[in-house]
Amino acid sequence: MYQVPDQHGKLAVVTGANSGTGKEAAKRLAGAGAHVLLAVRTPAKGEQARDEILAAHPGARTEVRRLDLADLTSVREFTDGLAADGRPLDLLLNNAGVMNVPQRTETADGFELQLGSNFLGPFALTVQLLPLLLAAPAPRVATMSSGTANRARIDFDDLQSSRNYSPTRAYAQSKLADMMMMIHLAELATQHDWPLLSAGAHPGYTRTNLMTSGPTLNGGRPGLLESLLYKIVPSQGPEQGAEPLLYAATSPDATAGGYYGPRWAMVGPTKTIAPPRSAQDKTIAARLWTEAERLTGAFIPARRR
């Protein structure tokens, strides 16, 4: 099992920290001494997760704060709250997401739900937190992608899946977008000489409620093939599934733009993974970043350019 290095004195934000890989990452960071903010859509569930963390680590420093990545107003309220605290942010773990929503659904801002929750919300969160991140001595942003991103492409002509919606295709596109955001942020850090390290991860096939919460949204049901695959494909628990993200966030061996996942694709200890060729297209990544700025209204502060 990956041992998280000492994190005393560091402030970390983990999105989707009420369950699955997010809760496990928050637990392990708190156990290593970090002050962890559990950024969750439903505070009551966050408090339950916090109780579990404190039961395992009675001296842990944890807080629950509300964050709905499908609502840019909520993202702004969250980042404004952190800015008002005035404390540098050492770690941002973009973990939360939604998967395979059966019918096209929109966020509070009119975005396709998977693109909005998995990419545009985390994009706005990351950009708006940059001033706090860059105030820390060695900040990191670790972003969770997915193996499904390998077979995706960014469709700028139908980015919101308005004309042709497929649950799996929309999910895969959103996770490819996450990977491209991670790589482009690493390049921006180099260009601007920021001390920030941006790295990414995928969890393989990890048993979490991500597999069921999206497909059952709005009364949907997982398809027969999907349900069968859940039972026969090799899988692992959140303890192992969170490790690639924790490695990206804390390992001294993680590199800028590095991508990490299970050794055997679906399961296993963490190893370095080569991002798919589609994620390495710098022209598309820059265009996607610009489009995300336009859609979210989140821009890198002028003083940081």
Active site residues: 171
Q: Give the start-end residues of each E strand in the chain.
A: 11-15, 35-40, 61-66, 91-94, 140-144, 197-201, 259-262, 270-272
Does residue 198 sit in helix, strand or coil? strand
Closest CA to 53 of 69, 29, 71: 29
CB-based burial label for 4 (10 Å; 0-12, 13-18, 19+): buried
Alpha carbons 38 and 118: distance in angstroms, whole number: 17
Looking at residue 164, the DSSP 8-state letter turns out to be S
Could you tell me the two tokens for 67? 């964050």
Closest CA to 90 of 11, 186, 191, 1: 11
Does residue 75 sit in helix, strand or coil? helix
Could you tell me the two tokens for 214? 């999206």
